[in-house]
Amino acid sequence: MAKIQKEKQTALNFVDENRPWLSDFHMEIWRYAEPAFREYRSAEAYVKLLREDGWTVEEGSGEMPTAFCAVWGEGKPVVGGFAEYDAVPGMSQANVPYQKPRDENLHPYAAGHTDPHSGLGTGALFGFLAAKHAMEKHGLKGTLKFFGEPAEKVCGSKPVHAAKSYFDASLPYHPSGYNAVRYEINAASYWNTLYTFETLHPENWFRPKDVPFNILGHAGGRIPAALDAVCLMYTATKYVEDAMLPYTAYWTLNEYIMVGGQATSDNLPPKIAQIQYAHRAPLLAMQEQITNVLDNTAKGVAQITGTKVTKRIIARTRTGLSNMKLSEILYKNLQLVGPPVFSEEAREFGRKIQENLGFQAMDEPFTEACQKIAPIDYIDKDIRYKFPEWVTHQGSDDYVDYQWTAPSTRLNTANASLKNPDPNKSLPPWVRLAMNGYSACIDPGIITAAKTLGSTIIDLVTHPSKLAEAKQEFNERTGGGIGGSKWVPPLLSKDFYPPIDLPWPEYVTTQRGFEWSLTKPGPEKEYKVLHEGF
């Protein structure tokens, strides 16, 4: 085995020596489980840790209260990365081998970590801490920039940071079911738009004169109003969705109701209702087409219902920009570190889940993919198998906005992934959520990520020629770097105000105590079951 560079060995040792700290910090973020733009305690925990470690931290970067920008060191090169820490509403699950809400004092549809971003942020953080420790010990020059990125589930913060010029070089990371790097094909674009319908002048709705009945008061004709507008918008979009674009490649359109009208307004016409549309597409021209159809639909619905409609951009990302040179550097370090190694404790947890699902427990309950390193072109080949050649981007994630500012790639490391004894039926979501919060199942992947990222940073700091090759590729792909002939500028303006003021789901403290946006359900007898579901 080749001798490991002493600076890199220091970074690797740092992660091993601080495994309990890493594990405890992950569980702290996992327990907070705060959703998009409302990650107050999570962001505070990161800021506190980084400041105590000697970093200079700007809180609330980009006008986002739960974002931050932490800097350590001086001079070149400048290497960047980020933490994500937002959880997903409706995904509450305890870290036990059976289905159970994470906190029985909260509504069962409170938030939980799915990917999990608790592991993403912790792996990236400790990779940068490891590199910083090695740079201090060995007197290495360079600057580390570490961002706190809220609201990834709506791609909400990275495009804002990009528009406001916060970025340098970057090493994005994300937990997965396999151990790999992004090589040629990266994520596609994600756009998110909110349409607000308001009933401003219900008195102007048509009222006939000289009729032989009373049309005043509650018995009178009523303007369709805002709630009707959202219902029509939802339905009309379903009718035109098939005509937006041909289904020749992966693109999706999803809708979410943010405000549904006033639930205690008696029979008055609802004043406000909001619907949010999130769409993913491999080409920006496809996004423009979807947006045009949505805008026209909203205008028509407003005319039908007598409402005012306004449009607000939640997020707009570019498509990814590959850097194969940097991916090769990252991949070599992933090979050096090796895949996650899961303990018998983790396997026993997996077996208990299998038994509770009604299956016979397996001697090896985890997939092969989560325990080996995939080839460097693994993700590329999978996408090429599924989509036509012209699809050069797939899926969506806002890390792509890092990729247009400097050489960038992306690392995936695996959580423990349970084998499915019945390939004809998917495992329920709670299985993955429970394993994400069980340290023996999640820590090995976080440790692999931290070591790989820390080692890669040391490579970039101590081998300028490697970073120079990555920068040359960046310049070639952009037609001359930032501002080049092939470069795509940020899709949001520098003065874009992030949508932090919208009614996102969150935890609240009232006289009733600490609660989720949906309060804890009342007595079970008050809920009559009409259908048990599937």
Residue 42's SS3 state is: helix
pTM as predicted: 0.95
pLDDT value for 217:
58
pLDDT value for 269:
84
Least confidently predicted of 203-207, 237-241, 344-348, 452-456: 203-207
Last residue of a domain, one of 297, 316, 335: 316
Rounded Cα gap, residues 407 and 467, in angstroms: 8
Structural domains in the chain (count):
2
Query: Is the same domain home to 361 and 412?
Result: yes
pLDDT value for 168:
63
- CATH number reported for the structural domain that contains residue 200 in this entry: 3.30.70.360
Query: Is the same domain home to 429 and 288?
Result: no
pLDDT value for 512:
85
The number of beta carbons lying within 10 Å of the beta carbon of residue 407 is 30
Query: Is the same domain home to 29 and 128?
Result: yes
Residues in CB range of 192: below 8 A, 6 or more apart: 154, 155, 156, 276, 277, 278, 279, 313, 314, 315, 316
Query: Is the same domain home to 332 and 288?
Result: no
- CATH number reported for the structural domain that contains residue 98 in this entry: 3.40.630.10
Residue 3 vs residue 493, higher pLDDT: 493
* Residue 80, H or E segment: strand 78-84
pLDDT value for 311:
97
DSSP 531: -
Q: Using the predicted structure, report yes or no on whether residue 170 has a pLDDT greater than 70.
A: yes
In this prediction, residues 78-94 reach a mean pLDDT of: 97
In this prediction, residues 308-325 reach a mean pLDDT of: 96
> Which structural domain range is residue 452 located in?
6-185+322-478
Angle between the N-to-C axes of helices 225-244 and 284-305, in degrees from 0 to 180, rounded to the nearest 10: 150
Query: Is the same domain home to 152 and 19?
Result: yes
Query: Is the same domain home to 31 and 166?
Result: yes
Query: Is the same domain home to 403 and 272?
Result: no
Give yes or no for a cis peptide into 77 (omega within 30° of 0). Answer: yes
Q: Using the predicted structure, report yes or no on whether residue 1 has a pLDDT greater than 60.
A: no
Structure tokens at 161: 């940071």
pLDDT value for 524:
83
Bridge partners of 320, per DSSP, are none
Residues in CB range of 218: below 8 A, 6 or more apart: 267
- The size of the chain, in residues, is 534
Residue 211 vs residue 119, higher pLDDT: 119
Query: Is the same domain home to 115 and 233?
Result: no
Provide the sign of the torsion angle of the four alpha carbons 133, 136, 141, 142, taken in this order: positive
Closest C-alpha among 244, 337, 349 to residue 291: 244
Residues in CB range of 41: below 8 A, 6 or more apart: 32, 34
Q: Using the predicted structure, report yes or no on whether residue 4 has a pLDDT greater than 60.
A: yes
Query: Is the same domain home to 11 and 123?
Result: yes
pLDDT value for 264:
67
pLDDT tens for 209-268 read 777 766 665 556 678 899 999 999 999 999 998 888 877 677 999 999 999 887 766 778
Closest C-alpha among 15, 43, 116, 171 to residue 500: 43
Query: Is the same domain home to 41 and 101?
Result: yes
Query: Is the same domain home to 166 and 211?
Result: no
Query: Is the same domain home to 31 and 146?
Result: yes
> Could you tell me if residue 503 is inside a domain?
no
* Residue 413, H or E segment: strand 411-414
pLDDT value for 486:
97
Percent of the chain having pLDDT more than 70?
96
pLDDT tens for 333-387 read 999 999 999 999 999 999 999 999 999 999 999 999 999 999 999 999 998 888 8
Rounded Cα gap, residues 345 and 47, in angstroms: 32
Q: In what order do the strands lie in the sheet with 78-84?
A: 56-59, 68-74, 142-149, 78-84, 169-170
Q: Which residue has the tokens 């379903």?
A: 238
Last residue of a domain, one of 463, 478, 493: 478
> Could you tell me if residue 531 is inside a domain?
no
> Could you tell me if residue 484 is inside a domain?
no
pLDDT value for 202:
87
Tell me, letter by letter, the H, E, C secondary structure of 143-199. EEEEEEECCHHHCCCHHHHHHCCCCCEECCEEEECCEEECCCCEEEEEEEEEEEEEC
